[in-house]
Structure 1
Amino acid sequence: MRARQPRRPLLLRALLAGTVLAAIPVVMPAGAVELTDAVRSALQTNPDVGIVAENKRAVEYELEQAEGGYYPTIDFSASSGYELTKDNSTRNREKAGGDSDHVGMPVYDASVSLVQPLFDGFATDADVSRQESRVVSAARRVRETSEFVGLDAIEAYLESLRQRELVAIAEDNVRSHEQTLELVEAKAAGGAATVADIQQAQSRLAAAESTLTEAEARLRDADATYVRIIGESPGELYRPQPPLWSLPKSLDGAVEIALRNNPTIAVTRADVDTAREEYKTSKSAFYPTVDLEMTTDTARNQEAARGTDYGASALLRLRYNFYRGGQDINRRQELIHRIAEARQRHNRAMRLTEEEMRLAWNALTAARDRLRAQRREVEANDRVRQTYRQQFDLGGRNLLELLDAENEYFLARGNLVSSEFTELFSVYRILATGGILLAALDVPQLGAARSELDPTPPDQIDLERQLTAPPSEGGVGQGGEGDPTMMPGTGDGLPAPSVYTEPDGGASLDPNAPLDPSAPLDPSAPLDPNAPLDPSAPLDPSARNDDGFPEIAPIRRVSEETREANAAAGPVPNGGGEEDRSAHFTSLGGQSAPPVSDLNDDSARDPVGTWGMGAPGTPSKAPRAQLHVDSPSNGASASEAVRSADAPAARPDRSVSNDGAGRRAPAVPYGFFSD
């Protein structure tokens, strides 16, 4: 087990003040919850895991039932009582001088029979093989569900933590508006401000308080989801350090790992084996059956004859069906197509897995690219608002300009926090799609996820270290006093995870060399948006970009003609019908931050409402591929299982969400961290 890096508490006061504090390792207080602890708790208590675990145990007993077909059947029967007989023999007895025309006497009988199947057309062999495949499929289903529940737990943990930080930002925004109102009232007392200025400041303060109330409501919603998935109330949460060492070095390597280790693909592969073995069972109908039947019995006073009778027999019995209306032939044809159907489900799972890995990889790359600009934006907005406040004191700026600057800073900080959590979640999403999430977190699989029949048990998953990046010396969760990657509004102990540079001043990068997270980012470095890139260039798995991260794929730059055409087409309308001046505030739900042109609009003050992750009912731009498929591991045969549905089974309870007004709206797969 890898040594766990020391965690550092998130100092919300540092986030509120926008200051850079030293990351000081501390001992976690009582009630603190680490991410790995939350994942373990979810695996132990989540009913979704319990359902598939109990199903696996039930299928194991079905295997034992099938193995019983090799053994003999032994039956014992006995009876005792009084029997009254009147038939021709008793009537003849009366004619011959007997007492009466009927006979009554106590009777009893007992028998033991043994039937040993000698040949059943290989039906038992095929049925045992089918049940073994179902056991493997059920065990892999436990592993699949564990990976997804683990990712759900991570999502709930990060979302609850993110909402706490957004609440802290909203509280800071309220305090800033209170200070502005006090400043305006002081100036009004001296005749330097008007009643309208006071009313404007009061209006903005009320809007900030309303935004805070909404943020607190979303925090309670996030905590409710946390309790549902993890099974306990969230304590003091900490930003985790993701296992960057386990990330693949390239998209091709990530796809290769996913196609090899993804548990859904493993489940569908076992389902193909199950369908194949069930087809073998249908062949037994074309063979005879041979049984050895042995019987012994004893009877007393049977058929009105006094005395005890004994008997024993040993027989070989052959049965052979010649015609059953074509049922057996049609059954074989059905199962041939069931095998083909299972193979197509396997192919679909592979395609969905590859798509999901590419989406997750693109989401991580986009988040890292977005973070660089957002950090510079937060710094710039912080300087602007401080300058505007000084100029407002001197009469060089009016109140609206100061309030606009405060609002811009508020929105930028909220977007930065959301993007940071998007990047964090994207790392775990890649690992889960690759089927190595729990292994990377050093969280053991449940015992039900293992089977002696599985040729690739979860404990033997190769993390493909030859395809993974070396561990970073710093990385997410590192940082310290004077760390140039620490930006205002990021909190304590979390540097910019995407700020990496090549060592030796830009010399050729050794893909096996550790990356330097402490190298400063030059915000003044010009970016050429029209730099030509060759989209057809082959992807080098070892290539790194200027920040030291893997190159995902070449990106075609927008030509100048396209830019001019877009400019001529006019502004892009947003929800308020105005020019969207904050395209860089793109939210994780596929929406943008509202413009700041109309500051009387409540939506313009709400970085955790209309644009933030956590807006209930907001569909994601790129919904996460649903990788679940039907499996015969639910106790039904393969044909019954694949006949039950035409599409993959969705993840539990992800189909709808509450939009906050009592309506049911489409939920965002994997919450609000899809990109």
Structure 2
Amino acid sequence: MSLGALSAETLPEALVRAYQSSPQLNADRARQRGTDENVPQALAGYRPQIIASLSAGLQAVRNTLPDNTVQGTTLRPWTIGLTVNQVLFNGFKTANSVRVAEFQVLSGREALRNTGQGVLLDAVTVYMNVLANQALVEAQRTNVTVLREIQETTRRRLDAGDVTPTDTAQAEARLSRGLADLNAAEVTLAISKATYAQVTGEAPGPLAPATPVDRFSPLTMQASVETARHEHPAVLGAAYDVDTAQTTIRVAEGSLLPTVAVQANVSRSRDSDTTLGTSGTDQASIVGQINVPIYDGGTAASQTRQAKEMASQSRLVLEQVRNQSRTAVVGAWVSNEGAKVALSAAESEVKAAEIALQGVRREAAGGQRTTIDVLNAQQELTNARSRQIAAQRDRVIASYTLLSAVGRLDVHTLGLNTPDYLPELHYHQVRDAWHGLRTPSGQ
């Protein structure tokens, strides 16, 4: 093994870098951390609300007595108080709101997992595109080198009188075409390298060949469809959305039920008016309150009907996502099987084209073939190699696409050398937080 092969970057290494540095994935992780905060916000409904109050000021008083004597003074009253409100029952709105928030968290995790699959599949695609385009550039360079040799040979034979100027023109035309094809391949390679840097965060260096990952996918199409139905993050996320919508109905219905709350209050006030019988007042109270909704103009009823319609929509969306998932799996399975056949055929085509070119060149040297026959055979070999390179690229991408369609394209399944991002960690850090403005990361 050469030193270049040892230092070449592998596909798993590129996937690790994309997984760690993807702005899209990091943005979705931040979104999910924001979604986690819905749960402590909902849990706040179980907790008391405490309010402290303080009022103070100046009050000018001017009194006129019966004998028309005027007395004036400036008062400095102040009051300090503490109020505690605790909801005891609110039609199960708090409990159902917590469940809604938890379902939203679960749905968000599946959306994050789906984004991770997309990032990894994009990384596979750009890696294989660069690898294939590098090979295509080398194939076109080899083609140009061979065409130059044919052109030089044709010119020498023209000088010797063995061929006509037509043969020379044909060789020059094919060389010009080969140079144009080489330029197009170099342009495509430059574009694919830029895309690679965008997806993985670094420009590509030497890349090692990649292999398919069929071993991680189910063995049959039907098994793949069933696996996707139960494991694909888009399907699971849509199912959690149904749970969210169903629970939202109960939140809306809670507005039609009574509310029970208790309020405790303590206060102290002072007044500097010496004409009053008292100069200060201390108070403490505990008050229970029951509110029974009689009629709210139809708001709660409308919200309940609306929630039911949204639940119906979410169930239809779930069915749609399941159908889309099945179609994606079938398409990915067929494409993967087709890629196997295409690669085998391309390899056989290259071998046959190499043998054909060798035979045509020998026959041309013996005068049994013309220059155009040699040029055509060379072009067929170049085309066959290009198709083989494309088939090798498609074969690897198709296997990863199938794994993504099934719902298993992740760090754990691929065994990548990087810690897996665990959204549950942040969730448990903030779920029962009663106070604090800083995030777990210190922001």
TM-score, normalized by length of structure 1?
0.60
Q: Secondary structure at the match of 1:132?
A: helix
- Residue 266, structure 1, aligned to residue 236, structure 2: yes
CA contact (8 A) 1:374 1:415 kept: yes
CA contact (8 A) 1:57 1:448 kept: no
CA contact (8 A) 1:135 1:451 kept: no
CA contact (8 A) 1:66 1:131 kept: yes
Displacement after TM superposition at 1:163 (Å):
0.7
CA distance in 2, matches of 1:131, 1:369: 49
Displacement after TM superposition at 1:452 (Å):
9.6
Report the equivalent of 2:435: none
Report the equivalent of 2:304: 332
CA contact (8 A) 1:141 1:449 kept: no
- Counterpart of 1:436 in structure 2: which amino acid? R
CA contact (8 A) 2:229 2:325 kept: yes
CA distance in 2, matches of 1:136, 1:225: 32
Report the equivalent of 1:105: 75
Write the mapping of 1:227-626 to structure 2, written as runs, cut at 5 A: 227-301=197-271, 305=276, 307-438=279-410, 439-443=412-416, 446-450=420-424
CA distance in 2, matches of 1:28, 1:211: 27
341 and 445 in structure 1: CA distance in 2 versus 1, 3 angstrom threshold: farther
CA contact (8 A) 2:9 2:208 kept: yes
Q: Secondary structure at the match of 2:152?
A: helix
- Counterpart of 2:163 in structure 1: which amino acid? A
Report the equivalent of 1:184: 154
- Counterpart of 2:381 in structure 1: which amino acid? Y
CA distance in 2, matches of 1:302, 1:447: 64
- Counterpart of 1:80 in structure 2: which amino acid? A
Structure 1 window deviating more from structure 2 (358-367 vs 305-314): it is: 305-314
Displacement after TM superposition at 1:372 (Å):
2.8
CA deviation profile, 1:534-588 (whole Å, cap 9, x unmatched): xxxxxxxxxxxxxxxxxxxxxxxxxxxxxxxxxxxxxxxxxxxxxxxxxxxxxxx
Report the equivalent of 2:120: 150
Structure 1 window deviating more from structure 2 (439-448 vs 289-298): it is: 439-448
Displacement after TM superposition at 1:450 (Å):
4.0
CA distance in 2, matches of 1:25, 1:391: 38
Q: Secondary structure at the match of 2:57?
A: strand
- Residue 174, structure 1, aligned to residue 144, structure 2: yes
Greater length-normalized contact order (CA 8 Å, ≥ 6 residues apart)? 2
CA distance in 2, matches of 1:97, 1:106: 26
Q: Secondary structure at the match of 1:115?
A: strand
CA contact (8 A) 1:132 1:453 kept: no
Q: Which one of the candidate residues 134, 141, 160 is aligned to 2:130? A: 160
367 and 243 in structure 1: CA distance in 2 versus 1, 3 angstrom threshold: closer
CA distance in 1, matches of 2:157, 2:373: 16
Displacement after TM superposition at 1:200 (Å):
2.1
CA contact (8 A) 2:90 2:254 kept: yes
- Counterpart of 1:77 in structure 2: which amino acid? S
- Residue 34, structure 1, aligned to residue 18, structure 2: no
TM-score, normalized by length of structure 2?
0.91
Report the equivalent of 2:97: 127
**RMSD, matched Cα:** 2.1
- Residue 220, structure 1, aligned to residue 186, structure 2: no
CA distance in 1, matches of 2:360, 2:178: 19
CA deviation profile, 1:256-295 (whole Å, cap 9, x unmatched): 1111111111111111111112111111111111111111
Displacement after TM superposition at 1:103 (Å):
3.3
CA deviation profile, 1:57-94 (whole Å, cap 9, x unmatched): 111112111111101111111122221134xxx33xx2
Unaligned runs of 5+ in 1: 1-23, 455-675
CA contact (8 A) 1:143 1:445 kept: no
183 and 134 in structure 1: CA distance in 2 versus 1, 3 angstrom threshold: same
- Counterpart of 2:39 in structure 1: which amino acid? L
Q: Name the larger-Rg structure.
A: 2
CA distance in 2, matches of 1:71, 1:176: 81
Displacement after TM superposition at 1:446 (Å):
3.8
Q: Secondary structure at the match of 1:95?
A: coil
How many residues are aligned here?
424
CA contact (8 A) 1:278 1:335 kept: yes
- Counterpart of 2:66 in structure 1: which amino acid? K
CA distance in 2, matches of 1:129, 1:25: 59
- Counterpart of 2:312 in structure 1: which amino acid? A
Report the equivalent of 1:607: none
CA distance in 1, matches of 2:168, 2:135: 30
CA distance in 2, matches of 1:442, 1:204: 48
CA distance in 1, matches of 2:70, 2:251: 63
- Counterpart of 2:264 in structure 1: which amino acid? M
Unaligned runs of 5+ in 2: 429-443
CA distance in 2, matches of 1:294, 1:367: 73
Q: Which one of the candidate residues 29, 36, 54 is aligned to 1:60? A: 36
Greater per-residue helix proportion: 2
CA contact (8 A) 1:79 1:109 kept: yes
Displacement after TM superposition at 1:379 (Å):
1.5
Displacement after TM superposition at 1:97 (Å):
6.8
CA distance in 2, matches of 1:99, 1:331: 62
Displacement after TM superposition at 1:370 (Å):
2.4
Q: Secondary structure at the match of 1:232?
A: coil
- Counterpart of 1:244 in structure 2: which amino acid? D
Displacement after TM superposition at 1:42 (Å):
1.1
144 and 449 in structure 1: CA distance in 2 versus 1, 3 angstrom threshold: farther
- Counterpart of 2:313 in structure 1: which amino acid? E
